[in-house]
Each structure stands twice: as structure tokens, then as C-alpha cells.
Amino acid sequence: MSSNSSFPEVLQLCYENVNGSCVKTPYSPGPRVILYAVFGFGAALAVFGNLLVIVSILHFKQLHSPTNFLISSLACADFLVGVTVMPFSMVRSVESCWYFGRSFCTFHTCCDIAFCYSSLFHLCFISIDRYIAVTDPLVYPTKFTVNVSMMCISISWILPLVYNGAVFYTGANDDGLEELSRVINCIGGCQPIINQFWILVDFLLFFIPTIVMIILYSSIFLVAWKQAKMIESISSKAEGFSGTSRPKATKRERKAAKTLGITVIAFLVTWLPFMIDSFFDSFLGYITPSYMYEILCWVGYYNSSLNPLIYAIFYSWFRRAIKLIITGSVLKDNSSTINLFSK
């Protein structure tokens, strides 16, 4: 008598009785629940954590500064990742199928890549802001004004959205790879296929700002270290005569540069593996296994959840703002004028 194992396993399809449907490779119930919990937690943290950052900066007048407006706009990009990208990618990753239609797949892909580049451009402009603040603090208020900040924010949003919309909605992304795109993106699939020309453009758009940030933050920490030594020397002499302490404003600028430098490092650590894999994968015929593609995607997605945690750890004003928001104190009259920097 033959055993049950002798019968061929029936393939599951994303869409039964539909020609050209992708093969479904679902997880068993236990791992499925765990994955939904992990991915769902990341999406919730990205949404609510970044919403707290946005509300904090926009509500409290003391936080209305060019740098903080850039941080708020960066948080908006991460918030949108949590709303428009992560929930749908969660279903695709766990169920191994895309159930939201081809048109929404294109929209989802545009949002995915555009918000990544928007975050990168925000971080690049923030590094320029911090470089000027630390290296030339006397003229910083006149160089990096609110108007300049708004211009940087506009560029950080318009350029990625227009670029990705033009590439994906015109179909230029898979020119010359139409057959491969049809094979990979069967009915129930949603994986962007980008030809070598556009992947090279993407690579440059990612690495040019990255190199700029590395150079600027290296200069910032070198200057900050020299300033700290100089201030410590001057302050120790001044304290001997008058009991004065070191300037708090300069110390605050250095701490802000350090915190935002950590934010940049977190972005690069989470998104660099995906960008490197995408670059080489396009030249090797897209041989990266689907599960590895999903892992690299989610490592990048989780960057949108990390920034609020970084701010909560290093910014005391953010912790105070969270407390005021959660307790409902922001609904009181004149709550916007509360001093968040007071001890």
C-alpha cells in the first residue's frame, strides 16, 4: 500500500481558477501570527510615534525652529510609510500574495520608494543645517531661516514624488524587461522591476546624499570635539573668577548634532543592505529569493519606527511633550507656550 507522501502536493494559488495566478506559499498558523504581530507593531509604532513627533513640534511654539520643522516633515514621511506602505506590505509578506490590485501595486511602489528618498533628502538637509549651526553658530540664524527650511522641505517632497511617479506611471522602470516583469509579477504579485539605467539613477540618488552626510557629520564631530575642548578650557578659567558655567546653547547644538547623527546612521544601516542588493540584483537578473527581498524591505521599513525612539531616548523635550500630549495637557489654554527645556 502506498503512503500519503506518494501523492503530489497540490499547489496553492493566490487566485484559484485564475490563469496566470502566482503560487501561494503561506506560513503555518504559528509563524503567521508571530509575523503579523512583529510587522503590525512596526507599523503601529511608525504611525503613532511619528504622529507624536509631528504634534509636539507643531503644537509647542518653543519648538518652532528651522531644524525642528525639517524633523517634523521627516516624521511625516515616516508616518506615511506606516499608513500607506507597511500594512499592505505586511499582508504581501505573510500571505506571499498581493490582493490589492495592479493599480494599487504601482501606487504602493511609488509611495514606498518616494518616501524612502524623501527621508534621505530630509536627513541630508538636516545635516547641512547642523553643520552650519555647529561650525558657524554666529551667522547660523541668518543663513538657515524658516524660509530656507521650507524650501528644503519642498525639495525633499517634490523631487522624490515627481521622479518616482514619472518612472513608474510611464512604465519606464521595466523598459526592456517586460517579459521578466510578467513572470515575476504574476496575478497576485507585486515586486518592482527596475532596469539597469534607472537602478543606476536610484543608486546615485541614494549614495550622493549619503556621501554628503558622511562628510558633513565627520566635520561636525571634529569641530564639536575641538569646541568642547576649547569651551572646557575657557569655562574652567572663567569659573575660577566669576563662577560662570559653560554656555548651554552651544552644548544643546552639539547634542542635537549627535542625536541627528545617530538618526542618519540608523537610516543607512537599515536601508543600505536593500539598496546594495537592488543594485546588484538588477544586473544579475533578479535572483534574490522572495523571502530575502521581504526581509530587506522590512529592515528598511523599520527605520520609520526607529526615529521616534531615538528622539525619546536623547531628547528630554520630546519626552516632556509626549507626557503632555498623553495626559491631555495640550488641550488646556496656553499649553503651546509651555517651556519644554526647563528642568
Please choose, from the candidates 44, 36, 125, 56, the residue with its C-alpha nearest in 3D space to the C-alpha of residue 81. 44
Angstrom CA distances, 272 to 39, 123, 202, 300, 324, stand at 20, 15, 12, 8, 36
Residue 309 has pLDDT above 80, yes or no: yes
Triad 197, 174, 178: Cα angle to 5°: 135
Q: What is the pLDDT of residue 184?
A: 74
pLDDT mean over 97-115: 93
216-240 burial string, b = 16+ CB within 10 Å, else e? bbeebeebbeebeeebeeeeeeeee
Residue 313 has pLDDT above 90, yes or no: no
Binned at pLDDT 50, 70 and 90, residue 1 comes out as very low
Answer for the pair 301, 89: CB distance below 8 angstroms, yes or no: yes
69 vs 67: CA distance, rounded Å = 5
Residue 171 has pLDDT above 90, yes or no: no
Please choose, from the candidates 331, 317, 305, 326, the residue with its C-alpha nearest in 3D space to the C-alpha of residue 67. 317
Q: Which residues contact 192 (CB under 8 A, 6 or more apart)?
A: 109, 112, 113, 168, 173
pLDDT mean over 15-43: 90
Taking the CA of residue 90 as centre, how many other CA atoms within 13 Å lie in the half-sphere pointing to its CB? 21
Mean pLDDT across the chain, nearest whole number?
86
Q: Which residue has the higher pLDDT, 249 or 323?
A: 323
Cα 254–chain centre separation: 23
Residue 187 has pLDDT above 70, yes or no: yes
pLDDT tens by residue, 117-163: 999 999 999 999 988 988 888 888 898 999 999 999 999 999 999 99
pLDDT tens by residue, 215-230: 988 888 888 777 667 7
Domain ranges of the chain: 28-337
Q: To which residue does cell 510578467 refer? A: 182
Triad 266, 51, 77: Cα angle to 5°: 55
Answer for the pair 144, 66: CB distance below 8 angstroms, yes or no: yes
Backbone angles phi and psi of 293, in degrees to 5: -60, -45
Q: 342, exposed or middle or buried, with CB in 10 Å at 0-12, 13-18, 19+?
A: exposed
Q: What is the pLDDT of residue 287?
A: 83
Regarding the domain delimited by 28-337, which CATH topology (the fold level of the hierarchy) does it fall under? Rhopdopsin 7-helix transmembrane proteins (1.20.1070)
Residue 45 has pLDDT above 60, yes or no: yes
